[in-house]
Structure 1
Amino acid sequence: MILQALTQYYEDLLALGKIARPGWAKAKVSWALELSDNGELLGLLHLQQEVQRGKKTVLIPQEREVPQPVKRSSGVAANFLCDTSGYLLGVDTKGKPERTAECFAASRMLHERILKEAQSSAARAVLAFYEHWNPQTAKDHPALKEEWDEVMKGGNLLFWYRGGPVTEDAQVRESWQHANEQSGDAENTLCLVTGQHGPTARLHPNIKRVVGAQTAGAALVSFNASAFCSYEHEQGDNAPTSEYASFAYTTALNALIADREHTRRVGDTTIVCWAAGGQTAYQDFMMAALYDDNMDEREIRGTMIRLSKGESVEWQEQKLSPDTRFYVLGLAPNAARLSVRFFWQNSFGTLIQNVTKHYRDLEIVRPSFDKFPTLPVWRLLRETVNQNARNPEPNPRLAGDLLLAVLNGTPYPATLLDGVVLRIRAEREITHGRAAILKAWYLRNSKDEQLKEVMTVELNEQSNYLPYLLGRLFAVLEDVQQRANPGINTTIKDRYFNSASATPATVFPLLINLAQKHLAKLDKGLVIHYNRKITELNSRITQTLPARLTLPEQSAFQIGYYHETQKRYTKKEEV
């Protein structure tokens, strides 16, 4: 299903003119070899462009459409019109002159074979170049002498003729297209992706730019060991995929990953998304809804509500239909291959319904200093790790599991709750994000109705659920201590929070006794206020304090503490 969806997306982009047709691909090119009519090298053109990287300005290669590069392993395999200096010039710094000579000879043979029938002046110039070029004198050539060291550092070169790349010449393109369609001796089989007969792809092109994978790219489909093969088949014969399908899905996926505006990394997972038809507005909206914490909350929420109701809406001057098919793919590095963390597909309306439900479950009162209206996925994952660690990365599987739960509207993964609980115990801090996660996790995963009744947006003053009341009482006792000792560095939260939430019968008598000593330091008005508050909460505790609280009960304690604390600060703002 993944390959079929990507192949269809390629065809959608091809129809819109947004992607290279079969036989062509985007490649990074650093230099251009400018040729004369008789094939002489006139000059070396810089194709790098300046970009800002932090505080520095650096040169990076241009991306240009070139003939589809071959997939190299250890052998000699030349590319047409665009290649490294070892192939186009017959020189490099690898210290293997015999192999470099083989590379240049292979490049010459390839160009002579493909361009032998072409009559354009650009094609004739390329053939003349190979006929007259002498790699032995390359270093002293006037066009290369000044930039020799830079060229030898690596990077692709491209033939250039009369002010433009040779790849734009009509006869050269036609010659390449014909040669590409006739190339290969692969047997025609039924493609498992398209359902059409065609030459089988023995090796599938690499997928590039997945964070953590090899820089040269990694395969999504490959069979490079006998353990992966069946019935003595080799490589691509194990799962017959036509050369067209392998080109189409890899080209589409590389284009998706290269589009940084619509690609996100969560943990070790690289996430891409796309909509049937190739319209980018769907990707823009999905990224804004799930990852952007600076979005216009009113605009996004209003649009989400209409889409979840099955209405079409206008977004960025494009129409969003809830019936459009939408896809989300998560990829992670795995040695020389890529691992599929998850693949989700459904209608765009279903996606928005589930995301809306996710945000509704997360909604909880937030501190006045927290200016972010939403909690995107990456912020939720941050709440599960120690931000002071050298490498504060969340559980690799958690990113995919969490996003899949959001997309499907299913229970959240247990690892999300485990991570938050561990951070609360270690730091004794209930942040907005952690409180939101506790609330959402139990609302969606728990069947305990008494527990779910306190998982509310704001303080539930009517609930008599004991763990929740104890959390509220702890917040009041902490407030008493802070009022009695302004500027205190260590409060009862730092010393007793974990034990109070786990073994209340042991800790709370001590805390109540401490509170009486703190009250003795306050003026009469505050004493009356706090005594009334403590008495009111104690009066609703009608059972013996338990020796231990379960994990869900401890979460109710923590939510009670968070709600009471936020209510206290809200009252201060109102005054």
Structure 2
Amino acid sequence: MILQALVNYYEELAQQGKTAKPGWCQAKVSHAIELNEDGTIKTIISLKTEVERGKKKIWVAKPLNVPEMVTRSSGIAPNFLCDNAKYFLGIDEEGTRQRIMDCFQAAREKHLTILEYAEGKMAKAICLYFKNWNPELAKDNFAVKEHWDELNEGGNIIFSMEGIYAQEDDEIRGIWDKLQAKESNGKTGTCLVTGQKTEIARIHRGIKGVPGAQSSGAALVSFNAPAFESYGKEQSYNAPVGRYAEFAYTTALNYLLSQREYRFSLGDSMIVFWAESGKEEYQKTFLSWMNPQPDNQKEMKKVFGNLEKGLWVDFDDINLEPNQSFYILCLAPNAARLSVRFFYQNSYETILKNIARHYHRMEIVKPSWVDNEYLGIQKMLDETVNQKSKDKTPVPNMAAMVLRAMLEDSRYPESLYTDTLMRIRAEQGKVTYGRAAIIKAFLIKNRGWKEGENEMGLNEECKETSYILGRIFAVLESIQKDANPGINATIRDRYFNSACATPASIFPVLIKLKNSHIKKIDRESVAGKIYYEKLLANLMGKLDVAEENMGIPKRLSLEEQGKFMLGYYHQIQKKYEKKEDK
């Protein structure tokens, strides 16, 4: 299913001229060696351009279509018309040595063999260059010496003449295409992707762009030991994929991973996504749903409102087809291979509706300084991590499972809830709006909690003991703060975790502390004392009062602890809301 979707996507990209045809690939090229007709170096041209990446400006290589490049892990394997300084100039940062000379000789033999009978100026100049160039005298050449450090950074180099790149020369392109058509000596079989009888790819090309995987490329389909083989079929013959399908899916996936603006990382995974039609508008809008920015919040709210009414509204005035098939692929590094965390496909409208349901569950009253209406998945997962630690990466597998739950409108992983509670406990009861939103969404989706389903703020009607205890704790903390203005540490720092887990042993202590704190408020403000006394009396009346422990349970389950934290958060926000009203 994954490979079929990628092959179809490649064909759409090929029609739009965005990807190379079979036998060719797209590579990042740093420099061009401009040749004279006699094969001598005229000059060396830098093809890098300056682009903005965040707050920085960096120089990046130019993406160009070049003859298909080999996958190198070890050994000597030259490429045609596009390679690094070791193969094309026979040098590295130290000059030249035997292995570097061997690389140059391999490139020399390959180019002279392929272009042996060529008649054009470009082909003859390249042949003369390889026949006459002496790597040991490279530093004597002014053009090479001027760009020495840049050339040895490892970037790709191509040839050019009179401003035309060698791979764009009609004669050379024809020679290369004919050579690719002749190279068909592998086994034949039925391709699992296309269903056609064709030559089967023995080794699949590497996929580049997944952080943590091999930079030279990691395999999505591969077999490297007899234990993984069956019926006597070795390597990728064990999972027969035709040469065309193999080229198409690897090209499409490498293209997706090269589009920085239409991909995002999550934990240790890389997420790529595409529409069946190949139109980038779907990718652009999907990314804005995943990581909302302040400038598109109103537009999102409008679209969500219309989706609830059964209406389809184009986003940012972009015309989108609701029934368009849309794909999301989550990849993670695994040594020299890639593992698929998940692959999800559905209509674009269904995916947006599922995301809208998630954001609806996450709706919660926020502090006045928060601008964002919606909490993107990355910021949501940040709430489960200590932001003061060096490693701020959320649990890898959990991050991917949360994304999948959003897309499918399925149950959230239990680890999302437990990690959020652990983070709150580790920070002595710091219940941020993001953490409160996660707790609320989890309880509604996974535990079927109806009490908070339509409540963004304080639920005055909720009669659940754990929720009421959280509210009472917030009131007791407010009394302490009002009695001791400017206090550095409150009961939250010392008692929150115990009050949340074993309330019966802590609340009697807190009530006694409240009595001494309320006396201080009485001296300052009689109205303040009366307000708090009435509020506490109302909350305590909601509990089933028992003689021995005031109706307070000895222990709260994990589910009840989440409700306690939510009640605490809601009551705190209610307090600030009243201050703003006054």
TM-score (norm 2): 0.93
| Equivalent residue runs for 1:402-413 within 5 Å | 402-413=402-413
Amino acid at match of 1:232: G
SS of 1:203's partner is coil
Shift of 1:52: 5.0
Shift of 1:117: 4.4
- Contact 1:188 / 1:200 at 8 angstroms: preserved in 2? yes
Shift of 1:304: 4.0
SS of 2:319's partner is strand
Following the alignment from structure 1 to structure 2, what is the Cα–Cα distance between the partners of residues 27 and 308? 45
Following the alignment from structure 2 to structure 1, what is the Cα–Cα distance between the partners of residues 305 and 162? 56
Amino acid at match of 1:502: A
| Equivalent residue runs for 1:405-554 within 5 Å | 405-427=405-427, 428-447=429-448, 452-453=451-452, 456-522=455-521, 523-543=525-545, 544-554=551-561
RMSD between aligned residues: 2.2
Q: Which residue of 2 aligns with 1:144?
A: 144
Q: Which residue of 2 aligns with 1:378?
A: 378
- Contact 1:310 / 1:349 at 8 angstroms: preserved in 2? no
Q: Residue by residue, what CA displacement relative to the aligned partner does 1:178-222 show, whole Å, maximum 9, x if unpaired?
A: 212222421222211122233222221111121111222211111
- CA change 1:137–1:524 in 2 (3 A) is closer
Amino acid at match of 1:488: I
Following the alignment from structure 2 to structure 1, what is the Cα–Cα distance between the partners of residues 407 and 189? 37
| Higher alpha-carbon deviation: 425-434 or 494-503 | 494-503
SS of 2:294's partner is coil
Following the alignment from structure 2 to structure 1, what is the Cα–Cα distance between the partners of residues 61 and 391? 31
- Contact 1:190 / 1:198 at 8 angstroms: preserved in 2? yes
Q: Which residue of 1 aligns with 2:292?
A: 292
Q: Which residue of 2 aligns with 1:196?
A: 196
- CA change 1:424–1:150 in 2 (3 A) is closer
1:154 is the counterpart of 2:161: no
Shift of 1:430: 0.9
Q: Which residue of 2 aligns with 1:49?
A: 49
- Contact 1:322 / 1:348 at 8 angstroms: preserved in 2? yes
- Contact 1:189 / 1:240 at 8 angstroms: preserved in 2? yes
Following the alignment from structure 1 to structure 2, what is the Cα–Cα distance between the partners of residues 308 and 139? 69
Following the alignment from structure 1 to structure 2, what is the Cα–Cα distance between the partners of residues 357 and 56? 37
Match for residue 571 of structure 1 among 562, 568, 578: 578
- CA change 1:108–1:232 in 2 (3 A) is same
- Contact 1:275 / 1:282 at 8 angstroms: preserved in 2? yes
Following the alignment from structure 1 to structure 2, what is the Cα–Cα distance between the partners of residues 475 and 34? 74
- Contact 2:139 / 2:145 at 8 angstroms: preserved in 1? yes
Q: Which residue of 1 aligns with 2:84?
A: 84
Shift of 1:477: 1.3
TM-score (norm 1): 0.94
| Equivalent residue runs for 1:103-502 within 5 Å | 103-306=103-306, 312-316=312-316, 318-427=318-427, 428-447=429-448, 452-453=451-452, 456-502=455-501
Unaligned runs of 5+ in 2: 546-550
Q: Which residue of 1 aligns with 2:12?
A: 12
Following the alignment from structure 1 to structure 2, what is the Cα–Cα distance between the partners of residues 482 and 367? 19
Q: Residue by residue, what CA displacement relative to the aligned partner does 1:51-108 show, whole Å, maximum 9, x if unpaired?
A: 4567765543322221110112323222111112232233446898444444333323
Shift of 1:384: 0.9
Amino acid at match of 2:121: S
Q: Residue by residue, what CA displacement relative to the aligned partner does 1:250-282 show, whole Å, maximum 9, x if unpaired?
A: 111111111111111111111111111111111
Following the alignment from structure 1 to structure 2, what is the Cα–Cα distance between the partners of residues 162 and 96? 29
Amino acid at match of 1:86: K
- Contact 1:308 / 1:350 at 8 angstroms: preserved in 2? no
| Equivalent residue runs for 1:34-45 within 5 Å | 34-45=34-45
- Contact 1:381 / 1:394 at 8 angstroms: preserved in 2? yes
Amino acid at match of 1:290: M
Following the alignment from structure 2 to structure 1, what is the Cα–Cα distance between the partners of residues 21 and 31? 24
SS of 1:320's partner is coil
Amino acid at match of 2:458: L
- Size of the aligned set, in residue pairs, is 573
Shift of 1:499: 1.4
| Higher alpha-carbon deviation: 524-533 or 503-512 | 503-512
- CA change 1:568–1:210 in 2 (3 A) is same
Shift of 1:285: 1.0
Following the alignment from structure 1 to structure 2, what is the Cα–Cα distance between the partners of residues 308 and 129? 67
- CA change 1:312–1:373 in 2 (3 A) is closer
Shift of 1:377: 0.8
| Higher alpha-carbon deviation: 392-401 or 314-323 | 314-323
| Higher alpha-carbon deviation: 532-541 or 224-233 | 224-233
Q: Residue by residue, what CA displacement relative to the aligned partner does 1:439-498 show, whole Å, maximum 9, x if unpaired?
A: 10010011465xx45883121112222211111111111111111111111111111112
- CA change 1:142–1:568 in 2 (3 A) is closer
Identity of aligned residues (%): 45
- Contact 2:303 / 2:312 at 8 angstroms: preserved in 1? no
Following the alignment from structure 1 to structure 2, what is the Cα–Cα distance between the partners of residues 542 and 535? 13
Q: Which residue of 2 aligns with 1:75?
A: 75
- Contact 2:299 / 2:315 at 8 angstroms: preserved in 1? no
Q: Residue by residue, what CA displacement relative to the aligned partner does 1:279-323 show, whole Å, maximum 9, x if unpaired?
A: 111111111111124242221232345457665543455421121
Following the alignment from structure 1 to structure 2, what is the Cα–Cα distance between the partners of residues 298 and 17? 36
Unaligned runs of 5+ in 1: none
- CA change 1:448–1:86 in 2 (3 A) is closer
Following the alignment from structure 2 to structure 1, what is the Cα–Cα distance between the partners of residues 142 and 79? 25
